[in-house]
Amino acid sequence: MVGVEVRRYGLEDKVAELARRLAIPVVTSFMGRGLLADSGIALRGTYLGLAGDPALSAEVENSDGLLLLGVIVCDTNFGVSQRRIDLRFAIQALGGRVVMGHHVYPELPLARLVDALLERVPLPPQMPAAPRATPARVHVEPVPGSPLSAGDIADAVNHLMQRHGTMPIACDVGDCLFTAMDIAPTALIAPGYYATMGYGVPAGLGLQAATGLRPIVLVGDGAFQMTGWELGNAQRYGWDPIVLVFNNAGWEMLRAFEPEARFNDLGTWDFAAMARGMGGDGHRVETRLELDEALMRAHATRGRFQLIDIRLGPQSRSPTLSRFVQAVKRLSGH
């Protein structure tokens, strides 16, 4: 399992090579999502404990030698694991030290550890077969008139990237972040650790400014009400992100835990109509077919940001968020 320190210390290429030589399955932590996306490694997915794919969670939790490379042990990564990972049988390399069971080896930086492992695992004459990646959500041809669900968004983005290549993603918190877990591996920036609402749109602009790559931005309607107006700066600098607004007229992440609370209801804003005034193009979609068509049209249009106002019904949640809510309630006894 790879975590944030693999990126922090510029070790992705070396870790990918180590995984190839060892031919062992590779997953990311929740905070490490997006790591090794362009490495050619067949990633199994992201470990989310009870909130994740049951088969992947079982593979991690039943491992006889779980190697945690740069993975921060915290609630964000393991809060819904129900303590199914026995760290006594894991190898933790984090914070300049290595921990194996009750043995602690201080002053052993992650970069030196990876280099030493590569020296001990020379390139074999014939590379063993690497484990296959877990496939992304299978694209299902949309049925005309069928309503949208949060799970459809990941499917539609996967379809777009299968046809036109991967794109980096900037993501806000809430169900859009859980939806990102069902998108095929690609570069991802998100505020998973601090759960800072309003991060997505400004981060998408910064991503394009820093890299020159056109991003997809995933953002909820509540977060867009806070900072979505930063898109008004896109035209001035020539940025043209594709922004997907999860418009369900509320704070769905909060509503999932407190369904009776009225403060979660935000009312329906017409974000598509607001895009033109900020120098972009707006598209309102209410069905799967409309979403696919809007994504393809947005991808083909350059020079202006593209905002897709995705109308979702109340309590339309991604499968991952639904599992997360159930897991938290189970662990808390509610």
Residue with more model confidence, 140 or 286: 286
Residues above pLDDT 70, as percent of the chain: 87
**CATH 3.40.50.1220 segments of the chain:** 4-120
Asked whether 92 and 68 are in contact (CB, 8 A), the reply is yes
Tell me the per-residue pLDDT of 4-53, one tens digit each, with 9 for 90 and over. 999 999 999 999 999 999 988 999 999 999 999 988 888 999 998 888 88
**Cα dihedral sign, 294-300-301-306:** positive
- DSSP, residue by residue, 56-87: HHHHHHT-SSEEEES---SHHHHTTSTT-S-G
Of residues 164, 184, 175, 138, the one with CA closest to residue 242: 164
**Side-chain half-sphere CA neighbours of 110 within 13 A:** 24
Q: Mapping DSSP to helix (H, G, I), strand (E, B) and coil, where does residue 183 land?
A: coil
Tell me the per-residue pLDDT of 149-164, one tens digit each, with 9 for 90 and over. 888 999 999 999 999 9
CATH value of 4-120 in 3.20.20.80, 3.30.70.1350, 2.60.40.2130, 3.40.50.1220: 3.40.50.1220
pLDDT greater than 70 at residue 130: no
Of residues 153, 220, 216, 149, the one with CA closest to residue 186: 216
**CATH 3.40.50.970 segments of the chain:** 150-326
| Per-residue model confidence (pLDDT) at position 195 | 77
Instruction: Return all residues near 200 (Cβ < 8 A) that are at least 6 apart.
Output: 170, 171, 172, 176, 190, 217, 218, 219, 223, 224, 227
pLDDT greater than 70 at residue 82: no
| Amino acid occupying residue 225 | Q
pLDDT greater than 80 at residue 328: no
pLDDT greater than 80 at residue 261: no
Range 150-326 classified under CATH 1.10.10.10: no
Asked whether 182 and 154 are in contact (CB, 8 A), the reply is yes
**Mean pLDDT, range 129-145, rounded to an integer:** 61
pTM to 2 decimal places: 0.83
Instruction: Return all residues near 148 (Cβ < 8 A) that are at least 6 apart.
Output: 285, 286, 287, 288, 291, 310, 311, 312, 313, 316
Tell me the per-residue pLDDT of 210-220, one tens digit each, with 9 for 90 and over. 999 999 999 99
In this structure, the strands spanning 90-94 and 97-100 are: antiparallel
Q: For 181, phi and psi rounded to 5 degrees?
A: -65, -20
Instruction: List the single range of 77-81, 151-155, 174-178, 293-297 with lowest mean pLDDT.
Output: 77-81
| Per-residue model confidence (pLDDT) at position 268 | 85
Tell me the per-residue pLDDT of 89-101, one tens digit each, with 9 for 90 and over. 899 999 999 999 8
**Side-chain half-sphere CA neighbours of 209 within 13 A:** 12
